[in-house]
Amino acid sequence: MKTDSIFYQLFAEFPSIFFELIGRSPSDTQGYQFRSVEIKQTAFRIDGVFLPPENNPDKTVYFCEVQFQKDEFLYHRLFAELFLYLDQNPSTYDWYAVIIYPRRNLEPDETRLHQVLLESLKVQRVYLDELDRSTNQSLGIGVVKLVVEPEESAASSARQLIAQARQEIADRLSNQAIIDLIETIIVYKFPQLSRQEVEDMLKLSELKQTRVYQEALEEGRQEGRQEGRQEGRQEGLREGKIAAVPLLLKAGVSVEEIAQQLGLEMETVMQIAQQQS
């Protein structure tokens, strides 16, 4: 399973889930943006960094590492990248590092060299299989836990999360985005199934016939048209259509239908779809 990409997509679209996962109030951390940050003049790129908004009085930078494989040199790399970032960004107000594991036994065996950092108040390790299993869990935590849910109960949990999303999220596009992520997790957990079989398992085929789905589709089209009008040129119209593609993909529209409806080349839409996966 490409767990890294799933988590990074989840955090990029819903930063509040990350802060909920580590016990921070999402309302106190609004405006954070999840980014991949390059360390200049080195071979390092930090995949997960939450950058604070300019108007936030607490300008803490959060570093996030998702680790689903055993790596004895994980902490060597993580803290080297972190302190290189601080060296190149000396105006950083404060920092906090979070390492996400599916379970404890994937931690490096030898941690003595970094023990003082791991035990500090600036570093937190999260073990997904130890998260609270309360029936009243939040939608965000539920989606995160779905990644490590056993196959025998994954489909049932996914259907419950989809129902919860449709009930709790009023914004149509955000609703479709979280449902799309749930579907993506199930696709990776059941690679032997086709996309249509996954849709049938999660009852998504019925969802695509609903008014919510159709309104999300139309909203994506309107966004494309609006972008085009603002540019006022043919090039602007094309850029507006391209900007609408991710929204339509999140709404569950097929690559073929998007290309046909927006008048874009199939290759262009497929490239955008690959970037979103």
Q: In the listed set 183, 207, 231, which residue is the last one of a domain according to the structure?
A: 207
- 252: pLDDT strictly greater than 70: no
The answer on 197 and 92 residing in a single domain is: no
Most confident of 35-49, 109-123, 224-238, 247-261: 109-123
Same domain, residue pair 5 and 88: yes
Q: What's the structural domain count of the chain?
A: 3
Q: What is the mean pLDDT of residues 141-162?
A: 91
Domain stops at, among 207, 234, 254: 207
Q: What is the pLDDT of residue 1?
A: 47
Q: Are residues 10 and 74 in the same domain?
A: yes
pLDDT at residue 258, as a whole number: 73
| Domain enclosing residue 164, as ranges | 134-207
User: At residue 232, does pLDDT exceed 50?
Assistant: no
162 and 247 assigned to the same domain:
no
Same domain, 70 and 14: yes
Last residue of a domain, one of 189, 207, 225: 207
Same domain? 6 vs 76: yes
Q: Helix crossing, 211-231 with 255-262: angle to 10°?
A: 40
3-state SS, the chain, equals: CCHHHHHHHHHHHCHHHHHHHCCCCHHHHCCCEEEEEECCCCCCEEEEEEECCCCCCCCEEEEEEECCCCCCCHHHHHHHHHHHHHHHCCCCCEEEEEEEECCHHHCCCCCHHHHHHHCCCCEEEEEHHHCCCCCCCCHHHHHHHHCCCCHHHHHHHHHHHHHHHHHHCCCHHHHHHHHHHHHHHHHHHCCCCCHHHHHHHCCHHHHCCCHHHHHHHHHHHHHHHHHHHHHCCHHHHHHHHHHHHHHHHHCCCCHHHHHHHHCCCHHHHHHHHHHHC
Q: Are residues 1 and 112 in the same domain?
A: yes
More confident residue, 98 or 193: 98
Confidence grade of residue 177 (pLDDT, cut at 50, 70, 90): confident
Residues 139, 120 share a domain: no
Are 93 and 155 in a shared domain? no
Q: Among residues 16, 70, 74, which one has the least CA distance to residue 47?
A: 74
* % of residues, the chain, pLDDT over 90: 33
Over residues 81-86, mean pLDDT: 93
**Residue tagged 């996309």 (tokens):** 195
pLDDT of 154 > 90? The answer is: yes
Q: What percent of the chain has pLDDT over 70?
A: 75
**Tens-digit pLDDT profile for residues 180-231:** 889 888 888 888 888 788 888 888 766 555 555 566 556 655 665 565 555 4
Confidence of residue 174 (pLDDT cuts 50, 70, 90): confident
Q: pLDDT tier at 237 (50, 70, 90 boundaries)? A: low
Same domain, 216 and 186: no
CATH classification at residue 32: 3.40.1350
For 10-62, the pLDDT digits (tens) are 888 888 899 999 988 877 778 898 888 877 765 566 778 999 888 777 789 99
Give 80's pLDDT tier (boundaries 50, 70, 90).
Answer: very high
